[in-house]
Structure 1
Amino acid sequence: MTINDQHYITKVLEGDSHAFAVLVDRYKDLVFTLALTMTKNREEAEEVAQDVFIKIYKHLATFKGDSKFSTWIYKVTYNTCLDRIKKLKRLQNTIAIDAFTEHEIKTIDNALFAMEIKERNDTIQNCLNALPAEDRFMLTWFYYEDQSLDEIAKVMDIKPNHVKVKLFRSRKKLATILRSQLEPEILQHYER
């Protein structure tokens, strides 16, 4: 003889969590099947089933026994599925119309900007490589490594003012090389 649901409901309300496991085991297939039928997605159905049993556990005291327990579970499952479907539709509409479009545009802009940065960095690196080693070292340390004039002076064993003069000359050399490397059309565009 199977013990009725009310027995386990009473046990759960008295604090016996193991009794709830019996109820879950009895109704898990019903809940999952309904959720799968409504959501048409296995993962969503599994999440709905978890949500349903959490709701049932939290609100078990509100079950009045006016209907069969299975009917109450069915109703909770149905409403949870409807809520989930509405939420998914809102997310799909938001993503498809608003956020996705903005995201796509930002992604494309970021990709183009990243390409520009990479091209710019590659060009600068190629021009740096064309400089004598001392000039390349000073520019790299000052601009890329954020080293101070004093720190560069210590490494090069010269005075900071001398580093300043050498940096100025190195920048001029780099500018000359950059100018020769860049296409005339690009230079004309930026010189306007």
Structure 2
Amino acid sequence: MKQEQLVDNDLIKRVLEGDSNAFKLIISKTQGLVIQIIYKMVNNREDREDLAQEVYFKVYNKLSSFRFNSKLSTWIGAITYNTCINHLKKKRIPILDIETEDEKDIWEIISMDNLNSESNLTEGYVLNKERSQILKLEVEKLPPLYKTIVTLFHVEELSYKEISKITNLPEGTLKNYLFRARKKLRDNLLLNYKKDDL
């Protein structure tokens, strides 16, 4: 058993025995992922806070059913994702815009590395920081599902397999959605900015 699984197993056992500090550790360990998913899928601030509480309430109540088929964080990510999807459906908010596009290379202008890094202090620092800010603004304009997949893949650096477990979407579908999200990003960037700005 991997070290992380041993730690998770111990935390779960302690929570099930009534140790509230162990559950606080689980929250501390996973809140970054939970917040990323919620903030990318839901725009309303109050709804975000309510959803975060709802997620951890569900985690606490379902913890005894966790079977270690995936990482604890992936399982909690899936609960978060499904909670957000249900919320969006109740509010009748579109989850994604379906488009059919011809495939082409969309990375001729931008690099998604800018989403994830504040580059080192070099000559290009300011330019890269500006690109990063532009890219982050454009990512926020994507439909909730695209925004979430882009964030999980490029910011959280999760694999297709891990994202598939969180979203319950097949890997092929994820790759397709990621392609469409990148295409939409590229088109928006070309529409709103000069090539030289990117």
Q: Report the TM-score when normalising by structure 2.
A: 0.43
The structure whose Rg is larger is: 1
Higher relative contact order (CA 8 A, sep 6+): 2
TM-score by structure 1 length? 0.44
